[in-house]
């Protein structure tokens, strides 16, 4: 039992890094512009398809394909913001929810028509490594390392570049940022693009781990909400911490009880955090 628990714990931690990246895109958008992006799941699915198509059609290494997926996700995010979000940004939250939900439905509808709902898989293996009783797939280690690199780059961007400081200024007080000459409209578009890019990259990493369909993003969108509330909505680093916690739960719970209990306990934790500490473990927006 101890060996199984240790193996499940390690596997859950590695998976948690990827979950953290998925939630980070959602929480970044909320932190900067107070918009809940319901198109988050479909963008994750597009990231999965992006890595799959470049791998199967061009034979490109999936981790190199993430660069193309990241660029595509950034551009798609800016486009979605300009078309669907920009005009309702200052409207009640229901308007932005409906706008992003409409985008989500359009992406799923077109994706289902073009790619159907047949499960697909990125047939890419890096082998495994064993440490005593624990066997770890290198694809999971690579995905976790990629997630850490992306998180580090995001941190450096937000705290070590001028544009990143603009993003934090707009998140803190948009009106005051505009008074000192910060172009808030462009910064908001960039922020939405960055959040979408993170979702697409997370989808690309998930595609190297699990089979997927165009509908698979919805599951990870729900997990992103749980992680965001757990770590603190608006706090990207809190999202990474929440992802690790959720990943550990998903790794450890099946060692003691049927896997059908995993979503029950996950969403039970979600409700508990809302009741006890609504701002999350690392507090609210920073």
Per the document, the length of the chain is 286
pLDDT per position as a tens digit, 246-263: 888 888 888 788 888 888
Say whether pLDDT at 101 is over 90. Answer: yes
CATH number for position 260? 1.10.3470
Domain assignment present for residue 248? The answer is: yes
Q: Which two tokens stand for residue 228?
A: 């965001």
Nearest by Cα to 167 from 186, 153, 187, 151: 187
CA 257 to chain centre: 27
Residue 286 has pLDDT above 60, yes or no: no
pLDDT of 285 above 80: no
pLDDT in tens, 152-185: 999 999 999 999 999 999 998 999 999 999 999 9
Q: How confident is the model at residue 89 (pLDDT cuts 50, 70, 90)?
A: confident
At 136, which helix (H) or strand (E)?
Answer: strand 134-137
pLDDT at residue number 125: 83
Q: Is residue 38 part of a domain?
A: yes
- Condensed to tens digits (0 to 9), the pLDDT of residues 40-59 reads 999 999 999 999 999 998 88
**Residue with more model confidence, 278 or 227:** 227
- Rounded to whole angstroms, the Cα distance separating 112 from 270 reads 30
* Residue ranges making up the domain that contains 110: 2-122+135-276
- Pick the closest to residue 205 from 105, 124, 116 (CA basis): 124
Determine the pLDDT at residue 235: 76
Query: pTM of the entire structure?
Result: 0.92
The answer to whether residue 282 sits within a structural domain is no
At 196, is the pLDDT very low, low, confident or very high (cuts 50, 70, 90)? very high
Q: State the pairing for strand pair 128-131/134-137.
A: antiparallel
As for how many domains the chain has, the answer is: 1
Q: For position 1, what pLDDT does the model report?
A: 63
pLDDT given at position 283: 62
Six-digit token pair at 250? Answer: 């998903």
């Amino acid at each position: 039992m101890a060996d199984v628990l240790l193996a499940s714990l390690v596997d859950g931690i590695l998976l948690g890094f990827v979950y953290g990246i998925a939630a980070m895109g959602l929480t970044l958008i909320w932190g900067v512009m107070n918009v809940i992006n319901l198109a988050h799941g479909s963008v994750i699915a597009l990231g999965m398809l992006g890595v799959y198509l470049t791998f199967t059609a061009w034979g490109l290494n999936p981790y190199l394909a993430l660069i193309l997926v990241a660029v595509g996700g950034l551009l798609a995010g800016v486009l979605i913001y300009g078309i669907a979000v920009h005009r309702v940004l200052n409207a009640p939250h229901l308007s932005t929810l409906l706008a992003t939900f409409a985008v989500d439905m359009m992406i799923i509808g077109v994706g289902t028509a073009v790619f159907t709902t047949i499960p697909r898989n990125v047939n890419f293996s890096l082998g495994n490594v064993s440490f005593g009783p624990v066997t770890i797939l290198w694809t999971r280690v690579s995905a976790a390392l990629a997630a850490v690199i992306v998180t580090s780059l995001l941190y450096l961007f937000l705290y070590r570049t001028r544009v990143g400081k603009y993003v934090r200024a707009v998140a803190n007080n948009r009106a005051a940022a505009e008074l000192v000459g910060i172009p808030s409209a462009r910064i908001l578009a960039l922020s939405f693009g960055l959040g979408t890019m993170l979702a697409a990259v997370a989808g690309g990493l998930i595609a190297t781990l699990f089979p997927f369909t165009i509908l698979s993003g919805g599951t990870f969108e729900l997990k992103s909400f749980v992680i965001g509330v757990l770590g603190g909505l608006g706090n990207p680093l809190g999202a990474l911490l929440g992802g690790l916690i959720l990943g550990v739960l998903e790794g450890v719970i099946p060692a003691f009880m049927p896997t059908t209990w995993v979503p029950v306990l996950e969403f039970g934790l979600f409700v508990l955090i809302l009741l006890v500490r609504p701002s999350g473990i690392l507090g609210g927006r920073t």
